Amino acid sequence: MPRRRIDVTTWYLEQRDPGELNPARETSADIVRAEVVLPELSRFLYSAVGGDWYWTDRLSWTYEQWRNWLERPGVETWIAYAGGAPAGFAELDPQPDGQVELAYFGLLRPFHGRGLGGHLLSVAAARAWDLADRWPGREATTRVWLHTCSLDGPAALPNYQSRGFRVYDTRVKTREVPHQPPGPWPGAR
């Protein structure tokens, strides 16, 4: 596949107190935690959401790699359902010293522009702040952070900032990417 080199800007954002969360209006979407570790489901969400935005780092993961990642204590996947279909997801990654990374977040393309992203992000950030309530022995969350980049959807950065996340670092790096994002599965483009 032909590739090109482009400059990619990455923004690192954080909240240091749960009071910084500015919730969006609720929608009719149901947002639930996937309490059963299902690598198939997580891989589907990752590729269905990220296929439009050059998410490629996990595409080569084996079933076992997915399972090992998802089975780590405190890792949570929150899924938005609209009209009975998965509309998007958020993945929380617990880290030392009470930090929680919002590792992945996004909506499937048919659900863009409906206000679901703000609602899902509000719930995901709130669940990052109360993660210790669901995981005995986990220290209380002291910081929720994430990163997004210029390869992500155009609504990503404004949504994070509208929910109260503040940029604390910005970096630009030249990357080699395919001419088009990979799509949700091979041959989808």
User: Which region, left, alpha or beta, applies to residue 37 given φ > 0 means left and ψ of -120 to 50 means alpha?
Assistant: beta
pTM across the whole model: 0.93
pLDDT confidence of residue 73: 95
pLDDT confidence of residue 189: 58
pLDDT by residue for the chain (189 residues), tens only, comes to 678 898 999 999 999 999 999 999 999 999 999 999 999 999 999 999 998 888 888 989 999 999 999 999 999 999 999 999 999 999 999 999 999 999 999 999 999 999 999 999 999 999 999 999 999 999 999 999 999 999 898 999 999 999 999 999 999 999 888 777 877 776 665
pLDDT confidence of residue 176: 86
pLDDT confidence of residue 3: 85
Q: Domains of the chain by range and CATH?
A: 3-177 (3.40.630.30)
pLDDT confidence of residue 1: 64
pLDDT confidence of residue 36: 96
Ordered DSSP codes for 16-51: SSGGG--PPPP-S-EEEE--S--HHHHHHHHHHHHT
pLDDT confidence of residue 27: 92
For 23, 99, 117, 139, 157, the CA distances from 162, given in Å and listed in that order, are: 8, 21, 11, 27, 9
Query: How far is it, in rounded angstroms, from Cα 13 to Cα 181?
Result: 24
